[in-house]
Amino acid sequence: MTDTATEPVLEFPTTVAKDDGVTVLCPAQWEITIHFNEEGDAVLRQTNWPEDDDTIIIRRDNISEFIDRLTDALGIPTFGRP
């Protein structure tokens, strides 16, 4: 691992002054990556150095249903699917 793996990815400010009218929607968090294994399964991994990384594997035949349910849970409308 590189030295950058020891720090969370800082895409958003971690603190916000209450009087500036800004709301942090996603605080700093560890990096989340996706890749596909030889079987075509989606592999999600979140770095958690120095602890073990968290890994979620979604079988290839479940990816569409997983994405549909994830977006439904987040309140994002379904596109092009019944």
Model pLDDT for residues 13-54, shown as the tens digit of each residue: 444 444 566 666 666 778 888 899 999 999 988 887 778 888
| Torsion angle, alpha carbons of 7, 13, 66, 39, to 10 | -30
Distance CA 25, CA 42 (A): 26
What are the structural domain ranges in the chain?
Answer: 3-73
pTM of the model: 0.57
- The dihedral through the CA atoms of 16, 4, 35, 39 has a sign that is negative
Give me the pLDDT at residue 17, please: 44
Residue type, 46: Q
Which candidate, 5, 23, 4, places its Cα nearest to that of 13? Answer: 23
